[in-house]
Structure 1
């Protein structure tokens, strides 16, 4: 066999393999809209000149850029969290029909990239099943710092439902939400039930903390929150930097323990405290606080808390205005009713006992 024949056969083999790898498109599938949870959307900072910079998630200068661009303060008059740098506004990219923002959160990361995967594996698998971006597969990213009932976010979600419905030829939508994304959708359903019923066929909620995630949130407000474990965490935003961000995020307060829910196991905030006996001998005592008491303890711990931004000392205690706002959000969530025409699937684990208990049960 000549070299030329070998080359032709090699090209034919390559073309056959390439053809086999072309994803199958199944036009009969109903459209799917993926909604992420907290920290699950790429965020971009836009300056006054219109220049964009990805600030969540990134490796290089991640901690610095978070402090400069994402640190924010809550405006009780609007219910919105505004970046400390008023010249900056935060946006979510809409590329790939909303999927880009919720796929791989740091597209530039090469080594250890699975640590920043969000819906990536699900998107890849669904494309193998025949879903097509822009026809039957879509994403909804959002600024997860904001309240789950912020009208601006819910208006965008309404527009997304309508656009997905239209792009798929008038087919009703299957929603898949993860974690806090379930609260956002539940808020929308409660406040815009007619729109929800018009466009949604089914809803799959994965690990949705419908009654709060008290352990995780208590820890986050007191100590910060880490989204990446292991050596990769050294390159990302520190827990301390995250704590300063979380204190002014209404979405976090909306994940505190529901005050009206009858807990099978009451979530407790447990704190080790130093104690001295009459002889001056030190010992450690573990104190436990139920949800209402836990909030008071967190308020006390953060009463003199502040951050320094651009040389300015900014007081940052636990925000009582956000507590009031979050209570109103929980009241709205408690009144949500699922339309009879919509199928609902609540997927959660029940055997993993952890101090970061999350309550998934709806009613």
Structure 2
């Protein structure tokens, strides 16, 4: 379907050919879908290190550079090491950061499978005649942050303006994956006139507009495992990822919308032990989206991590929950401009 929408003459173009009549395409990644680098100054020299995605020393670098705490005064989640700045590389017109997420030689030497979301689509579009920097662009971002934070929204505005001007004033087709759709939705709600000016088509792939109950409930309770099998032993552990996600506004913004008319209401089912009159039994308890908040509070009340010899408490964060409620309001109030073409797949 995507190929038919974007490559009407697919098969007639040889690799490397370009077509001046193609509207520019901007690819927007989802959670975990952007390469992240850390920048730190030591002895007056700036060192830049890949922290996501990497294989060797991945867990160690992740803990040192990406573990964060949410700052309710700014709305940003900030690295525990205050001297560390998290960056998204903008090489290859933004495509490098969302193509193969770990393109290092280590992957090839260890015969690991490459981790990516947009690689095949980028290859397909180039084969259709799209040209990087003229009609094909990418937008990667710090996916720890809120989808309505200035850093992300302003960056998307700049990328849309760049694509529009580079193509000679042609309106942009956005293709967003997963959480990237929420970022675009927040942008559209905050800057509807700008969206209307630069965007003609918007294609969303697996976007959790009303939340992602299964994934996010699990993420807040136990973390996320991005890689399965023996390769997981070389990657960031589920527990390490969990300690990051508890302080990520983007995760709270994908909690299920409790006011949506679900065909089947999302629930968390938990087997819990009960003791009565000296006898222990196990019962299955169910929690709705609103009731699950009390479960998160209880499950995370003793959650903590050790960083630099200091113990840091990481309970369920109600400040982030309140911020996420504001994001949900933005999403619920967003309106698609008239005259455009929009496809949900």
Give the drift of 1:132: 1.0
Cα displacement (A) at 1:40: 0.1
CA RMSD, aligned part only? Answer: 1.4
Aligned mates of 1:294, 1:122 — CA distance in 2: 37
* Aligned pairs (5 A) from 1:335-346: 335-346=333-344
Mapped pair 1:98 → 2:113: no
Q: Does the CA-based 8 Å contact 2:29-2:139 persist in structure 1? A: yes
Are the counterparts in 1 of residues 88 and 141 from structure 2 also a CA contact under 8 Å?
Answer: yes
Equivalent residues of 1:62, 1:235 under 8 A apart: yes
Residues 112 and 32 of structure 1: is their aligned pair in 2 closer, same or farther, counting only changes over 3 Å? farther
- Whether 1:294 and 2:295 are equivalent positions in the alignment is no
Cα separation, 1, equivalents of 2:184 and 2:112? 29
Q: How many residues align?
A: 327
Counterpart CA distance in 2 for 1:189 and 1:167 is 22
In the alignment, which residue of structure 2 is the partner of 1:208? 207
Measured in 2, the distance between the counterparts of 1:164 and 1:37 equals 20
Asked if the contact 1:176/1:206 (under 8 Å) is kept, the reply is yes
Tell whether the 8 Å contact from 1:112 to 1:232 is kept in structure 2 after alignment. Answer: no
Query: How is 1:45-124 mapped onto 2 (pairs within 5 angstroms)?
Result: 45-48=38-41, 49-108=45-104, 109-110=107-108, 111=110, 114-124=113-123
Could you report, residue by residue, the CA deviation over 1:320-341 in whole angstroms, capped at 9, with x for unpaired residues?
A: 1000000000001100000012
Q: Is 2:254 the counterpart of 1:255?
A: yes
User: Aligned with 1:304: secondary structure?
Assistant: coil
CA distance in 2, matches of 1:22, 1:293: 54
C-alpha distance in 1 between matches for 2:85 and 2:185:
26
Partner of 2:290, secondary structure, is helix
TM-score by length of 1: 0.87
**What does 1:31-42 align with in structure 2 at a 5 Å threshold?**
31-42=24-35
The TM-score normalised by the length of structure 2 is 0.92
Shift of 1:138: 0.5
**Segment drifting more, 126-135 vs 178-187:** 126-135
The separation in 1 between residues aligned to 2:27 and 2:206, in whole angstroms, is: 14
Rounded Cα–Cα distance in structure 2 between residues aligned with 1:114 and 1:162: 35
Q: Residue 6 of structure 1 corresponds to which residue in structure 2?
A: none
Task: Please say if residues 115 and 228 of structure 1, whose CA atoms lie closer than 8 Å, have aligned partners that are also in contact.
Answer: no
Q: Partners of 1:113 and 1:93 in 2: how far apart?
A: 23
Structure 1 residues 45-74: Cα deviation after superposition (integer angstroms, max 9, x where no partner): 000232110000000110011110000001
Q: Which runs of 5+ in 2 are unaligned?
A: 1-12
Confirm or deny: 8 A CA contact 1:72 1:248 kept in the other structure.
yes
Deviation (angstroms), 1:278: 4.0
Distance 1:62 1:283 in 2: 42
Alpha-carbon distance, 1:279 to partner: 5.5
